[in-house]
């Protein structure tokens, strides 16, 4: 019995009188997460956001990642996402579930169990080809959460006419994710051209004075274009997640599936 079925079973038993409310409460206290010793896996997140807890693999051994994956597959029903993953994590998870896919450029592993019909539109834009790994992390994250996603890559301000060729798509989007390094100006340009929210992702791409993305981050935070919000340096996952939530609310008027 998976996590959602266990919750429903408890509620049915309370309704029928088979369980008292305080007895059900004691059981519910133990249900929100699984304690693996080295990790406490949150199962309530799927109920809150429509996606199971996302696993950050960097710093975890393949064995630890495998045990977390095993718990999520047992207790949750939807798609599962592993970020900052290496091939060693993938090989371990693939042996457990053949549906696992490794997106090497994005450093993501996905297990797609809920083939959601794509809804709305999220556009993911990159300033340069070097920004694509972070953009791909955003794209695949939003895709895994049920968004229709359009990728528009290498359209930075050094050749801004390349961006303008995609204005129709950008203006039909629920939200646009802009991934850029260097001076980060692309976020402001897009923000000034569209009416939907823009989520800017600074990357560490640039020369020495870029300071690993710090100057890009500061430039995006200081954008003069309204409607631009900023996530942390190289945080494609965070941008894709927020974009999918916004897109779901715009497309369905709901914040859960």
CA distance 213 to 191: 20
The 3-class SS string of 177-192 reads EEEECCCCHHHHHHHH
- Give the pLDDT confidence score for residue 232 in this predicted structure: 97
Above 50 in pLDDT, residue 256? no
> Can you give the pTM of this predicted structure?
0.85
Q: Residue 30: pLDDT band by 50, 70, 90 thresholds?
A: low
Residue that terminates a domain, selected from 79, 111, 143: 111
- Give the pLDDT confidence score for residue 13 in this predicted structure: 86
Mean pLDDT, residues 29-40 taken together: 75
Range of the domain at 63: 32-111
Comparing CA positions, the residue from 257, 190, 202, 172 lying closest to residue 227 is 190
| Residue 103, domain member (yes or no) | yes
| Residue 4, domain member (yes or no) | no
Above 60 in pLDDT, residue 35? yes
Residue that terminates a domain, selected from 65, 87, 111: 111
Q: What is the CATH number of the domain that holds 129?
A: 3.40.50.1970
Mean pLDDT, residues 27-56 taken together: 77
Average pLDDT, the chain: 90
Residues 125 and 248 in one domain: yes
Residue that terminates a domain, selected from 59, 87, 111: 111
Residues 99 and 171 in one domain: no
Give per-residue pLDDT as tens, 133-181: 999 999 999 999 999 999 999 999 999 999 999 999 999 999 999 999 9
């Amino acid at each position: 019995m998976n996590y959602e079925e266990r919750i429903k079973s408890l509620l049915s038993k309370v309704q029928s009188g088979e369980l008292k409310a305080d007895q059900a409460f004691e059981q519910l206290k133990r249900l929100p997460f699984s304690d693996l010793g080295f990790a406490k896996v949150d199962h309530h997140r799927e109920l809150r956001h429509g996606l199971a807890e996302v696993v950050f693999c960097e710093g975890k051994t393949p064995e630890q990642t495998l045990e977390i994956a095993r718990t999520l597959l047992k207790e949750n029903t939807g798609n599962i996402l592993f970020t900052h993953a290496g091939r060693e994590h993938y090989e371990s998870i693939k042996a457990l579930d053949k549906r696992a896919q490794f997106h090497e450029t994005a450093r993501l592993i996905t297990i797609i169990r809920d083939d959601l019909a794509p809804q709305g539109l999220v556009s993911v834009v990159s300033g340069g080809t070097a920004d694509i790994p972070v953009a791909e992390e955003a794209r695949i994250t939003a895709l895994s959460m049920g968004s229709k996603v359009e990728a528009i890559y290498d359209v930075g301000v050094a050749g801004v006419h390349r961006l303008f060729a995609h204005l129709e798509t950008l203006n039909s989007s629920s939200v646009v994710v802009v991934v850029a390094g260097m001076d980060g100006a692309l976020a402001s340009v897009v923000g000034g051209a569209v009416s939907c929210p823009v989520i800017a992702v600074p990357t560490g791409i640039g020369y020495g004075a870029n300071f690993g993305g710090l100057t890009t981050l500061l430039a995006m935070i200081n954008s003069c274009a309204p409607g631009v919000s900023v996530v942390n340096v190289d945080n494609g996952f965070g941008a894709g997640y927020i974009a999918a939530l916004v897109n779901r609310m715009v497309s369905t008027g709901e914040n859960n599936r």
